[in-house]
Amino acid sequence: MSASSTARRIAATALAAGAIVSAVALPAAAHDDNRHHRHHRHEQRVEIGRVQTDGPGRDNRSNRSLNAEWVEITNNSRRAVDLDGWTLRDNDGNRYRFDDVRLAGRSTVRIHTGEGRDTRTDLYQGRRNHVWDNHSDKATLRDSHGRTVDTKSWGNHHRGHHHRGHDHR
């Protein structure tokens, strides 16, 4: 056997061994990638944060008084979330619909009841009456498909209670 045919056999054996190692390593790498993506989806959490139902001063339905009433929506993930078509409701059926709103990663937006100019951190419902009941109410956040993402109740029997839905975005 010549040196060149021996070298070819060694090279062929090494290539075959490498192919087997690659085939074994590929599913493990793919599995890790899937776990990594699952973790990101789970981390994608939008929730109702703080709620201010009874702002300082008298509830006299002035725009200042209305804007002292607010609900915060927080994006705890690193990725921005498109809130277009999402809704925020109270127990009486008052509904605010997010229109062309993108919530940056690790950020919060405050939804005020009264009128104002929308910014990245503050949105305004444009209402002339208070929405959130000081004594007992529930805020419900739903995605654009109508799925409940989070609720927050307060009052006599439900002080600060949260129920989080699954955000599949």
Can you give the residue ranges of every domain in the chain?
1-43, 47-157
- pLDDT reported for residue 160: 54
pTM over 0.85: no
- pLDDT reported for residue 169: 39
CATH number for the segment(s) 47-157: 2.60.40.1260
Residue 149 has pLDDT above 90, yes or no: yes
DSSP 2-57: -HHHHHHHHHHHHHHHHHHHHHHHHHHHHHHHHHHHHHHHHH--EEEEEEE-S-SS
- pLDDT reported for residue 86: 98
Give φ, ψ of 50 to 5 degrees.
-75, 150
User: Which tens digits make up the pLDDT trace of 35-60?
Assistant: 333 334 444 499 999 999 987 777 78
Q: Which two tokens stand for residue 24?
A: 């074994």
User: Which tens digits make up the pLDDT trace of 2-33?
Assistant: 555 555 555 555 444 444 444 444 444 433 33
| C-alpha span between 20 and 46 (Å, rounded) | 44
